[in-house]
Amino acid sequence: MGYIQGSIKKYLNDLSARTPAPGGGSAAALSAAMAAGLVAMACQFTLGKEKYKGFQARCRRILRESLKTKDKLSRLADADVKAYKSRDLDQAIRVPAEVCVLSCRIMESGAEVLEKGNKILASDALLGVLLAGVSFSAGLMYVEVNLKYAKDKAKKYLKLYKNLINMLPKTQRIIKKVEVHFGDLA
């Protein structure tokens, strides 16, 4: 049984223990899963509201995507722990790379929900974007760290790494775009 089926208390206790796993990679995946959950929640409170009638169809798609992404990221939190415990360097690179890709999607969706969704949940959508942004950065950092250990295998992941680096400006633009909403929340 993985952490995702267990208690948050157990996970946090193990995360703070003197063990390599769970570590930052699983924390990044879990943070991104929480981001997806926040975006989904903002969608739930937007759907069915007359004021947001023009956004309903897109909001339903974002909700479905966010829920699927939340579940996928939850599994990745456990996959990261397994990769480190089994010393599977390939998975230790692939898992945080996938966290990056999924985090970027959540950032895009969350920004859209922030702009067009229920304003009462704007702070939740905003937090979803910010958490996903941190998760993207953390995932990228762990890909870089693990590539250093990969040595001869590093060439195998060069294209993957370049794709992630190319996503970085997009994530930065999204963060800048949503930061203007800080004053609007009060």
pTM over 0.85: yes
Distance in angstroms between the alpha carbons of the first and the last residue of the chain: 43
pLDDT the model gives residue 181: 77
Class of domain 23-179: mainly alpha
Under 8 Å between Cβ of 77 and 3 = yes
Q: Match 């952490």 to its residue by tokens.
A: 3
21-51: pLDDT as tens digits: 898 999 999 999 999 999 999 999 999 999 9
Q: Are 32 and 131 in contact (CB under 8 A)?
A: yes
Task: Please report how many Cα atoms fall inside a 13 Å half-sphere around the Cα of residue 122, on the Cβ side.
Answer: 13
What span, in angstroms and rounded, lies between the C-alpha atoms of 84 and 92?
A: 7
pLDDT for the residue 45: 97
Given this model, what pLDDT does residue 71 score? 97
35: nearest Cα among 100, 116, 120, 115:
100
- Predicted confidence at residue 17, as pLDDT, reads 93
The number of C-alpha atoms within 13 Å of 106 and in the hemisphere containing its C-beta is: 40
Q: In sequence order, which ranges of the chain are alpha helices (DSSP H)?
A: 8-15, 24-44, 56-85, 89-116, 122-150, 158-179
Instruction: State the pLDDT at residue 185.
Output: 63
Quick check: 96 and 140 in contact, CB under 8 A? yes
pLDDT value, residue 1: 58
Matching residue, tokens 């267990």? 6
Give the residue ranges of the chain where pLDDT is below 50.
none
Q: What is the pLDDT of residue 162?
A: 96
pLDDT of res. 180: 86
Q: What residue type is assigned to position 177 of the chain?
A: K
pLDDT in tens, 47-66: 999 999 999 999 999 999 99
